[in-house]
A and B are shown apart, each in its own frame.
Chain A
């Protein structure tokens, strides 16, 4: 009888595991979106990053920056200040993304000693010369279902992935975002997208973003390496977090346009 006991026990264990995973696994688009968008992300985050831009010929430019981000129910405020190379050191980009109002943006060029008000960038525009768009940075691993009609494509227990497809709700939104279709492959253990694929408005493959080296930090999950690869230009941006802390208090003053002039 023993010969049949082991396979039965194994089968039972697998069923239990599957059932546990299934219990945590939402089975509707709304539940999946709630899990993804409700993932705790911290009110304050300070991190240093290395941004490596590599063109199709393999030529690269490396920049380093500090990023402060503060979230409250009404807005997300973030400040990016380049620390290297020296020709852009001190250049700062401040953005206030409001939930119920038009966003605000400022640019500080230390050589000019001048804070310049800029119009909120179009969401599909390139973010600071990288392969990320402003919308990619703004949404940061969340999915905005007011922009997209979302469809649950698969929940693969073997790969622990939930696959969602999104189509912009209108043609205008597609033009604004620069995408005709998006596919998110979300790790259901963390509810963090592992891979996001983008198609242009004509249906051609455009870009993919991958989150790697996900670490638990101060109770929050942070992808320490984010890779954006443009399939049309062959250009790739590597965003590597070199240090990070959620255990910081970032004052509203730090993220105000007045403070920009004090950077350098």
Chain B
């Protein structure tokens, strides 16, 4: 009896201290080749623990009505044991998306638990944003925050004099990117082979120093980590996860009505494919991005980025010694921000194509938004876009926030 009363009192005080909100997202996709319907319920709880700490938890429940995004119950070999989803049946999954304790003492911030950590200045392309892997079950169509896979991590940030900060990350969870398997709507031919790799057992370590320098903000990065994309030996069909050491640099600076962004990273070894021998080999890589955001008015925003990758290798016939990507985003908000339209174009000539996505969102009231998203893919006969050329279409959805 005493225990029951204590439990009731505890639950009551927790409910009192907790903020509960979240969203329900229902959408139907009318595709160039296939249609699908999808329901997502994502509630979160936040407990305030005194003035300096809080506990945050988020669940994600997905129903893939037509079972076309991840048909059946695909292997979760790419995920560490404690990061796996609960596959209720072929169509339903439940996932503990985030669960962390966040302590904010005067000297900085400490976040322990399953979480998302975002690095870098880039939009829509991943250079330094590599602390968490990504799910490509809908290719690159969802916003990164939707498709990013949160990992069990310890994230410490210490304030430094002059308005800077020093961040240390320890990540025992080495879950890597999720690729849609061959039969899935956004599946790749090699998806099944890539998904055979086991996560590397060695923990990841990373550090960042960020500081203002005049009107610019500069970031310096270092990481020793497992790669998020497996290396595939085409001859043997064996996929494995390699390790890399990377250093990076980021900067931003407002200039008039624009903001100039820059990001660069050097990796001591990423897997590449020798086009003559079809053997996978490791080579160092330098990748740089320049972006410009133009805030044309309170209603128009234009962003453009150019990315270039150079591979340093003694092999003469490397498939992709140089990779380029161009992205452009245009955002329009109506007066009072009830209606917004966002267009994104990604073109990767060295991967044989690109895609375009246009999303219109209308805010009906505080709880309900309706949206429409059109997407299309273009591809030549080479590269990753070939496999998903017909995957575009129109999505119509309604989002309820509670």
Contacts and interface: CB of A to CB of B under 8 A. Distances in A.
A117 B145 contact: no
Contact of B118 (A61, A114, A119, A257): A114
Nearest to B333: A129
B295 A258 contact: no
B161 to A, nearest CB: 11
Interface string B72-110: 000000000000000000000000000000101010010
A85 B116 contact: no
Interface in B329-369: 333, 335-338, 363, 365-367, 369
Contact of B335 (A61, A233, A258, A261): A233
Nearest to A120: B254
Given A86-B22, A87-B23, A125-B297, A256 B254 contact: no
Interface string B1-38: 00000000000000000000111000000000000000
Nearest to A55: B336
Interface string A79-115: 0000011110100000000000010100000011110
A118 interface: yes
A262 B102 contact: yes
A86 B259 CA distance: 29
A253 interface: yes
Given A86-B22, A120-B254, A262-B102, A102 B366 contact: no
Contacts of B254: 102, 104, 117-120
B268 interface: no
A112 B146 CA distance: 9
B293 A111 contact: no
B88 to A, nearest CB: 25
A122 B295 CA distance: 9
Contacts of A256: 163
B235 interface: no
A122 B145 contact: no
A63 to B, nearest CB: 8
A199 B157 CA distance: 49
A257 B298 CA distance: 22
B297 A122 contact: yes
Nearest to B294: A119
Nearest to B368: A87
A121 interface: yes
Interface in B146-176: 157, 159, 163-165
A233 B334 CA distance: 12
Given A86-B402, A122-B297, A235-B336, A261 B109 contact: yes
Nearest to A252: B163
Nearest to B298: A125
Contacts of B366: 61-63, 84-85, 87
Given A114-B118, A125-B297, A258 B22 contact: no
A61 B297 contact: no
Nearest to A114: B118
B109 A122 contact: no
Contacts of B261: 117
B157 A258 contact: yes
Interface in A103-157: 104, 111-114, 117-122, 125-126, 129-130
Contact of B104 (A111, A117, A262): A262
A53 interface: yes
Given A87-B401, A233-B335, A258-B159, A126 B367 contact: no
B256 A119 contact: yes
Contacts of A104: 215, 254
B318 to A, nearest CB: 33
A55 B335 CA distance: 11
Interface in A239-264: 253, 256-258, 261-262, 264
Interface string A216-238: 00000000000000000101000
Interface in B256-270: 256-259, 261
A133 to B, nearest CB: 9
B117 interface: yes
Nearest to B399: A87
Nearest to B115: A113
Given A113-B145, A119-B258, A120-B254, 13 more contacts: A61-B363, A62-B366, A86-B22, A86-B402, A102-B254, A117-B252, A117-B254, A121-B295, A121-B298, A122-B297, A125-B298, A258-B159, A258-B164
The 4 closest A-B pairs by CB, nearest first: A86-B21, A129-B337, A125-B298, A85-B366
20 contacts: A53-B336, A59-B365, A61-B365, A86-B21, A86-B402, A87-B401, A104-B215, A112-B145, A114-B118, A117-B261, A118-B295, A119-B258, A119-B293, A119-B295, A121-B295, A126-B336, A129-B337, A233-B335, A256-B163, A258-B163
Interface of A: 53, 55, 59, 61-63, 84-87, 89, 102, 104, 111-114, 117-122, 125-126, 129-130, 233, 235, 253, 256-258, 261-262, 264
